């Protein structure tokens, strides 16, 4: 991994308070919010313990398009992958299922891991069963949400920004203020936001220099006014997978999204030069999504095998190129750099860009953020 591409800090730069260890879905942050998100548990899976009982199919609950199809095919066993659009949606389903979800693997974002572990939603990992664990750069291990990697190993890391259609928005956009202004003007009615409460509420925080996980009531009130009263009327969609639709189809002019989704969409576009990716100033998010085994998984052996397989250098390189996020597997990145893979700069930020990125946290204001975005969606007609 080239020195300029390594994000030196993957943990929060600013700590306002200790991350609450009470799951947002069962403690002070609201049972009702959780169950309102819960969907029916999938059929076809059997509930099992941690002893490694198996079924014919490994069931994975993940973000959309998160594994290279070539890897899934090469794995050699049946893999069924269902997708979710937010951590809240995923956690709600696991909570509602109470150990009978039928899933074996899940991919939580790092800041949600402590709450999931505390509430017995994840199996503890036996790292000796992951022979390719040593392929992961130590910079990506031992993060604050899982210091000993007891429950997770990194799958992808990435950041948040936006992409815009230069045929619609003729001026150069570089900041979050620019994004907000364009959403209200040239891109009004053609702007989509990532379907993630934390990411949506962070837009104003980044623009104003507030901590993205603010618990300050005055700031949260301003976020509510901004999103519900000022921005909602200009939003046409809440979309966590614009790379497979909105960007290549050109249905939106301004897309708030993650770097991998933006890259996927640009590469799929018939006219990729019309789109420009922006990692906005002054600051933005840095996140890590992680491999984890679901408590009560029926297919524990296959879960370990699939995670280990995916941490292989060749397999990791496939995933990076397909999904557009770094995996923390150093040799895979070097391999792709040698192959001159397209838009690699969208995957691996420079050292200067990394200095402007930091990780948020889950705290007692999470329910407020969820409520604000629900109000915003209602106002936007979503």
pLDDT at position 64 is 86
**Residue-wise pLDDT tens digits, 264-273:** 999 999 999 9
pLDDT at position 109 is 93
Residue 121 class from Cβ within 10 Å (0-12 exposed, 13-18 middle, 19+ buried)?
buried
pLDDT at position 99 is 80
CA distances from 265 to 73, 158, 333 (A): 23, 16, 21
- One of 3.30.465.10, 3.40.190.10, 1.10.8.590, 3.40.50.300 is the CATH number of 159-285+361-380, namely 3.40.190.10
Q: Is the pLDDT of residue 33 over 80?
A: no
pLDDT at position 98 is 83
Residue 364 class from Cβ within 10 Å (0-12 exposed, 13-18 middle, 19+ buried)?
middle
pLDDT at position 361 is 86
pLDDT at position 381 is 86
Domains of the chain, residue spans: 3-10+20-157+286-349, 159-285+361-380
Q: Is the pLDDT of residue 31 over 80?
A: no
What string of H, E and C letters represents the secondary structure of 27-44? Answer: CCCCHHHHHHHCCCCCCC
Would you place residue 93 in the very low, low, confident or very high pLDDT band (cuts 50, 70, 90)? very high
3-10+20-157+286-349 and 159-285+361-380 agree in CATH topology: yes
**pLDDT (mean) for 217-233:** 98
**Residue-wise pLDDT tens digits, 126-180:** 999 999 999 999 999 999 999 999 999 999 999 999 999 999 999 999 999 999 9
Name the residue among 302, 143, 77, 287 with its Cα closest to residue 202. 287
Window from 20-29, 277-286, 356-365 with minimum mean pLDDT: 20-29
pLDDT at position 29 is 35
- With tokens 């030196």, the residue in question is 8
Percent of the chain scored above 90 by pLDDT? 77
End-to-end CA distance of the chain, in Å? 42
**pLDDT (mean) for 236-256:** 95
What residues contact residue 285 under an 8 Å CB cut-off, 6+ apart? 159, 160, 199, 202, 206, 212, 357, 358, 359, 360
d(C-alpha 193, C-alpha 211), whole Å: 20
pLDDT at position 42 is 35
- One of 3.40.50.720, 3.40.720.10, 3.40.190.10, 1.10.510.10 is the CATH number of 3-10+20-157+286-349, namely 3.40.190.10
**Mean pLDDT across the chain:** 86
Beta strand extents in the chain (DSSP E only) = 57-63, 78-84, 105-106, 153-165, 191-193, 235-238, 254-258, 275-278, 284-293, 357-358
**Residue-wise pLDDT tens digits, 186-196:** 999 999 999 98
Would you place residue 118 in the very low, low, confident or very high pLDDT band (cuts 50, 70, 90)? very high
Q: Tell whether omega for the bond before 312 is within 30 degrees of 0, i.e. cis.
A: no
């Amino acid at each position: 991994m080239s020195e300029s591409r390594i994000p030196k800090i993957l943990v929060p730069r600013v700590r306002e308070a200790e991350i609450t260890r009470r799951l947002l879905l069962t403690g002070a942050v609201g049972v009702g919010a959780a169950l309102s998100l819960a969907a029916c548990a999938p059929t076809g899976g059997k509930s099992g313990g941690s002893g490694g009982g198996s079924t014919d199919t490994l069931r994975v609950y993940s973000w959309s398009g998160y594994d290279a199809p070539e890897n899934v095919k090469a794995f050699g066993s049946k893999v069924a992958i269902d997708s979710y659009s937010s951590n809240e949606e995923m956690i709600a389903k696991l909570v509602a299922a109470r150990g009978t979800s039928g899933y074996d693997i899940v991919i939580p974002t790092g800041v949600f891991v402590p709450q999931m572990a505390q509430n017995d939603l994840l199996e503890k990992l036996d790292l000796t069963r992951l022979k390719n664990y040593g392929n992961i750069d130590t910079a990506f291990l031992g993060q604050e949400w899982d210091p000993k990697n007891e429950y997770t190993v990194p799958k992808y890391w990435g950041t948040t920004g936006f992409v815009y259609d230069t045929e619609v928005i003729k001026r150069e956009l570089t900041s979050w203020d620019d994004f907000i202004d364009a959403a209200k003007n040239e891109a009004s009615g053609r702007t989509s936001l990532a379907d993630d409460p934390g990411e949506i509420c962070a837009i104003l925080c980044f623009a104003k220099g507030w901590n993205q996980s603010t618990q300050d009531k005055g700031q949260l009130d301003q976020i509510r006014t901004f999103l519900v009263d000022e921005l909602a009327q200009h939003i046409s969609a809440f979309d966590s997978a614009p790379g497979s639709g909105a960007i290549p189809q050109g249905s939106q002019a301004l897309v708030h999204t993650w770097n991998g989704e933006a890259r996927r969409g640009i590469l799929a576009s018939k006219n990729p030069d019309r789109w420009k990716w922006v990692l906005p100033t002054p600051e933005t998010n840095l996140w890590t999504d992680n491999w984890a085994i679901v408590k009560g998984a029926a297919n524990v052996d296959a879960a370990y095998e699939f995670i280990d397989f995916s941490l292989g250098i060749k397999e990791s390189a496939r995933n990076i190129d397909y999904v557009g996020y770094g995996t923390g597997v150093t040799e895979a990145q070097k391999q792709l750099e040698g192959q001159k893979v397209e838009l690699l700069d969208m995957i691996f930020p420079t050292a200067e860009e990394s200095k402007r990125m930091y990780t948020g946290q889950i705290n007692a204001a999470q329910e407020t953020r969820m409520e604000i975005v629900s109000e915003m969606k209602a106002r936007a007609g979503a």
